[in-house]
Amino acid sequence: MSTPSAVPRTAPIAIAPKPPRFPPSRQGSIHLDSFSGYRTRIDSPDSESLSGRPQTPCDSCHRRRLDCVMSDDEDGCVACSVNGIDCSLTESPPPRKRKLNGDAEDSHSKRSSPGWSDNRRRRHHQPSLSSTAASGSLIEEMANFGGPTLLKRTLGLQSDRYSQYIGPTTDFEPSLINLSPFDPQDESLLARGTLRKVSEHETFLLLPDYNTPGYEHVLNDVDEVENLVAPYGRKLIDLYFRVIHPGFPIIQKNVFYEKYERSHREFSPPLLAAIYILAINWWNHSEELAPLPRPNVRELERLVRTTLADAMFRPKLSTVQAGLLLSQRPEGDQWAPTAQLVAIAQELGLHLDCSGWKIPPWEKGLRKRLAWALYMQDKWGALVHGRPSHIFSSNWAVQPLTMNDFPDVEWDEGETEDRIDIERGRTLFTQMVQLSQILAEILDTFYTLQAMQAVTNAGVQGTQLVLSLAKPIQLKLKEWYAALPSSIRMDSTFQGINTATNRLSSIGYLHLAYFASEITLHRRIIRSIDATTTSNPSATVDPYIQHICRSAAKARLISAMDFVNRLTPSHLRSFWYFASKTNFALIGTFGSLLWATSPGREEADWYRRRLGEYRWTLSVSSKPGDQGKGLTEFAMGMLDISTGLLKKLPEKPLLSRSTSTVDIEGQRRQSILALGGSAAGSSSLSNISGLGGMHHEMGGYGSGLPSGDVSGVQSPRSFGGVEEEEEEESDSSDEGMYGNFSATAGLASLE
């Protein structure tokens, strides 16, 4: 809707019509937003005792027909202060300085609830305000510090308004936006709302919360959430920050506790409910809570569904956080909510580069963390659900994460273990983002409709096309793994975990995600080989190429199964990323694919035995804790389904192991001689020269490390000497064949 022509462009226009009157129980009060800690209640006893109502209302309040109440610092009235406009009650207001750490605490304490004692104020220190997110927060926490001045400068954390990004093709013409008169706060009042210009090219429309659906029920909803877990709310929050937060750091711990000590009403209902729902999964991990009855989780889930739906009408950064946390539930990995979260994030401009925006530095860091958390949610959701991704690189401008994008202080002084957990969690989160970018490339290269059709159209050359595309991605995976910091490597973590202190570690979900990425890549290679021979029986894939590809895939399967076998209770009882239960299942799915495509009975029997052993490992690993049980039970169920289908396979031919090895060796030499001068042949073999050796480089992944929860139990291995020799040969020959062939043919190798 354009500005009415009857109104001059230079004249400010009211943001909205007269606000509706509240019900009698709330009449005379302005609820700015239950999502924020800064609320003003006009005509309340506290407000009257602080400032009182002026005899003559200011021009803005008179024009908007609002009650006019002076702010506690007598620098204008409350309504003008919150909406960021100059109040006529102050003839020449002095420039307001952004309060630093100590001043913020003093100003903040003036607005604290009466129940917050002076001793508690002295005991809780505020985080510093250095770097891009030194005082970052999750909803409106840090917006409260420094009073309403800093609150007005936020974008996605406004106390009484929500923001909508104005894109380049909307009914707002970007070229005309600059004609609007912007005040020193970079805002301009229009009939539709308030324009907020954050940079030369990005502008948002700010709209009031009070006329959105469900706004009048916010306080009742958050009270109901708290009552459902009372009196254990604080203990559940302790559990959340102890177990979940280190591995998924999208909330600032200290500021969250500061707000909760004052009142639970300072939080968004769906966000508070999401934290409680996640924490209840570790109810038995607390010695105090374990013997007590659990809260009504079903009622919490009902509340979170309704309140989150209401919050989407006035989306803020807290809405994205609530959705991301809810998706981490064992039952929360649904695809449709991810699409909604992506849409909300685009509404808030999370897909943009906010580095140069006119917003507080801590909000920039918060936006980047949330943007990349959403990116991970979208990419891994696309993998586990087999759906097209919603986020594309052509419309993604978010800059890479740095340590400056995380809060500076999140642990108590003297708590060394807490500090190590938080720092490791930040590294873990950053590395998971990088791995997700490689996964996105795998999905775009091999699993889009267009990419799959290209391989089909290539016919008998489909395998060569897949191999040529796979090599650079395999190189990226190898480089990513080699560059992992020592603090999140499985070997250092195994040696560093002190089981006596019962410290949990979430790094397992990162390493499992790495194997899922490897499997997703090799799965496409094996599938292309099988499709070539199945669709065209007269067409054949070079036996040597087929042998190398299957050997590399077998090495990945062995490494992944060995990783699962070596997980300890400290890993299994910790927080696992939402995609982990499917990633566990993908290991079994990959083994079933190799079993189904085995050329002979002997190899098929080997995979059958190995999958039986994997199922046994999953069943033993399901014992410690509810979280580990849910993860592995899902994988066992999927494994039973796939192996049940495999029983319907026709009988495989019986191949001689010694004969097939001799044949492969002869075919390898023939391929080198025959294809040495062939550009097409050289390219094909060169492209697979980098697909092996990772298992060899990793030393079998975890060899020499203490075994996990299943190591002390006799494994039901049913294969004997012949199969053991074949496994050892596969592990060593994978790199040996690649290396020998590369040296002979003069081709590039990743080794």
pLDDT digit string, tens, across residues 221-276: 999 999 999 999 999 999 999 999 989 989 877 778 888 998 999 899 999 999 99
Residues 636 and 493 grouped into a single domain: yes
Q: What was the pLDDT predicted at 632?
A: 87
Residues 322 and 445 grouped into a single domain: no
Q: How many domains does the chain have?
A: 3
- Which residue type is seen at 354? C
| Residue 200, φ and ψ in degrees, nearest 5 | -65, -30
- Decide if pLDDT at 429 tops 80: yes
Residues 327 and 440 grouped into a single domain: no
Q: What was the pLDDT predicted at 78?
A: 65
Structural domain containing residue 683? 416-745
- The token duo for 366 is 């918060």
Find the helix or strand (DSSP H, E) in which 681 lies. helix 679-687
Distances (CA, A) of 401 to 213, 299, 669: 35, 37, 48
- Decide if pLDDT at 3 tops 60: no
Give me the long-range contacts of 330-337 (CB less than 8 A, separation at least 24). Answer: 330/281, 330/581, 330/627, 330/630, 330/631, 332/578, 333/381, 333/384, 333/385, 333/578, 333/579, 333/581, 333/582, 335/381, 335/385, 335/387
Q: Half-sphere exposure of 419 toward its Cβ, with a 13 Å CA cutoff?
A: 7
Residues 375 and 420 grouped into a single domain: no
DSSP state of 243: I
Residues 357 and 421 grouped into a single domain: no
Nearest by Cα to 125 from 456, 492, 552, 411: 411
Q: What was the pLDDT predicted at 627?
A: 55
Nearest by Cα to 567 from 634, 636, 511, 522: 511
Give CA–CA dist 306/224, Å, rounded.
12
Residue 186 lies in a domain: no
Residue 583 lies in a domain: yes
Distances (CA, A) of 292 to 242, 427, 507, 610: 19, 35, 30, 42
- Decide if pLDDT at 679 tops 80: no
| Lowest mean per-residue pLDDT among 407-411, 510-514, 742-746 | 742-746
The domain boundary, picked from 392, 426, 461, lies at: 392
Give CA–CA dist 490/496, Å, rounded.
10
- Decide if pLDDT at 681 tops 90: no
Q: What was the pLDDT predicted at 360?
A: 87
Residue 134 lies in a domain: no
Considering the chain, what is the average pLDDT of its residues? 74
- Tens digit of each residue's pLDDT (9 = 90 or more) over 607-649: 999 999 999 999 988 754 555 557 888 899 999 999 888 888 8
Residue 183 lies in a domain: no
| Lowest mean per-residue pLDDT among 166-180, 390-404, 537-551 | 537-551
- Which residue type is seen at 79? A
Residues 348 and 423 grouped into a single domain: no
- Decide if pLDDT at 144 tops 60: no
Residues 677 and 577 grouped into a single domain: yes
Q: What was the pLDDT predicted at 70?
A: 72
Q: What was the pLDDT predicted at 82?
A: 58
Residues 330 and 430 grouped into a single domain: no
- The token duo for 69 is 């109440």
Q: What was the pLDDT predicted at 354?
A: 95
| Residue 280, φ and ψ in degrees, nearest 5 | -60, -25
Residues 563 and 675 grouped into a single domain: yes
- Tens digit of each residue's pLDDT (9 = 90 or more) over 682-705: 444 445 445 544 443 443 343 333
Angle, CA 503 vertex, CA 502 and CA 507 arms, to 5°: 135
Residues 346 and 457 grouped into a single domain: no
The domain boundary, picked from 38, 69, 92, lies at: 92
Give CA–CA dist 706/36, Å, rounded.
48
Q: What is the mean pLDDT of residues 157-183?
A: 88
- Decide if pLDDT at 17 tops 50: no
Is residue 121 exposed (0-12), middle (13-18) or buried (19+ Cβ within 10 Å)? middle
Q: What was the pLDDT predicted at 666?
A: 52
Residues 432 and 384 grouped into a single domain: no
| Residue 367, φ and ψ in degrees, nearest 5 | -60, -40
- The token duo for 95 is 């420039």
Residue 200 lies in a domain: no
Which residues, including other chains, have CB under 8 Å from residue 451's CB and lie 6 or more apart? 444, 445
- Answer whether 572's CB lies under 8 Å from 504's CB: no
Give CA–CA dist 585/640, Å, rounded.
10
Residues 386 and 422 grouped into a single domain: no
Residue 403 lies in a domain: no
- The token duo for 216 is 């009048």
The domain boundary, picked from 92, 113, 134, lies at: 92
- Answer whether 42's CB lies under 8 Å from 69's CB: yes
Q: 497 vs 284, which has greater pLDDT?
A: 284
- Answer whether 717's CB lies under 8 Å from 675's CB: no
Q: How would you classify residue 199: left for phi > 0, otherwise alpha for psi between -120 and 50, otherwise beta?
A: beta
